[in-house]
Amino acid sequence: MDVKTALAERKSTRAFLDKEVPIDVINTIIEQAKTAPSGANTQPWQVAVLTGKSKTNLCNKLEETFRDGNKGAMDYHYYPTEWAGEYKERRRACGLLLYSTLEITREDKQRQLDQWALNYQAFNAPVILLFFMDNFLQKGSYMDCGMFIQSIMLSAVEHGLATCPQAALGEYPDIVREELSYAEDKLLLCGMALGYEDKSEIVNSYRTPRKELDKMVRYFS
């Protein structure tokens, strides 16, 4: 598979088959992804791989906390505190596209709640990857980790796997650190659902649009 194909096929998958992913495949993906660049070769990324009971136990705690009405707080601000302009419009369009695909109406608050709760189960994927870095590191390391995470997603495509990068899995960092015995100085960046796509599920049928080049690129000569 070439890079062009992997980039085109990668998408945020929200329904997975109940099929185990071999640990050697997971290790190969991470091994390939670790060639991602990082400033001064710092390689700030740290990865937790959860399957089986460890995944189930953590997911259940996260969902229970969410359903109890605790909004949680990430270790850093992923999103702006106030949305405006084109960013607000695209965020709204993204949510509407998901709900319209699933035929969830604006009035059906329970289905909306249940759909969001699936985030904390990693959409029932067989594997969760959680990404950490030391909390004294600065913004450049966030960029480094982003390149590492994208590399994982592209490698996963080559291995016939699907992914969904999830900020939601970072919304309760204290619970995650306690459950996995990570120290307080480990910053939780996000998580990722990993597994085999269930192509029969309609939630996997839609794709979010991307901007045209003339809306994002300026040329100088």
The C-alpha atoms of residue 168 and residue 3 are separated, in whole angstroms, by 28
Mean pLDDT, residues 131-154: 98
Query: pTM to 2 decimals?
Result: 0.97
Q: Say how far residue 78 (Cα) sits from the centre of its chain.
A: 12
The C-alpha atoms of residue 217 and residue 28 are separated, in whole angstroms, by 35
**69-120 pLDDT tens trace:** 998 999 999 999 999 999 999 999 999 999 999 999 999 999 999 999 999 9
Q: For residue 141, what are the CA distances in angstroms to 34, 42, 82, 153, 195?
A: 14, 8, 25, 18, 27
pLDDT band at 202 (very low <50, low <70, confident <90, very high): very high
- The pLDDT of residue 51: 98
Q: For residue 145, what are the CA distances in angstroms to 96, 126, 142, 195, 202?
A: 29, 23, 5, 21, 31
The C-alpha atoms of residue 43 and residue 148 are separated, in whole angstroms, by 9
**143-169 pLDDT tens trace:** 999 999 999 999 999 999 999 999 999
The C-alpha atoms of residue 164 and residue 15 are separated, in whole angstroms, by 10
The C-alpha atoms of residue 166 and residue 191 are separated, in whole angstroms, by 5
- The pLDDT of residue 171: 98
The C-alpha atoms of residue 53 and residue 55 are separated, in whole angstroms, by 5
pLDDT band at 125 (very low <50, low <70, confident <90, very high): very high
Q: For residue 213, what are the CA distances in angstroms to 5, 69, 111, 207, 210?
A: 19, 41, 36, 18, 9
Domains of the chain, with CATH numbers?
A: 3-69+121-206 (3.40.109.10)
Mean pLDDT, residues 11-18: 98
- The pLDDT of residue 23: 98
- The pLDDT of residue 158: 98
The C-alpha atoms of residue 159 and residue 13 are separated, in whole angstroms, by 15
pLDDT band at 122 (very low <50, low <70, confident <90, very high): very high
> Residue with structure tokens 């100085």?
185
- The pLDDT of residue 196: 98
**29-45 pLDDT tens trace:** 999 999 999 999 999 99
| CB 163, CB 6: distance < 8 Å | no
37 Cβ partners below 8 Å, 6+ apart?
Answer: 144, 147
| Residues above pLDDT 70, as percent of the chain | 100
Average pLDDT over the chain, rounded to an integer: 97
The kind and range of the H/E element at 157 are helix 139-158
- Lookup: tokens for 64: 């229970």
- The pLDDT of residue 183: 98
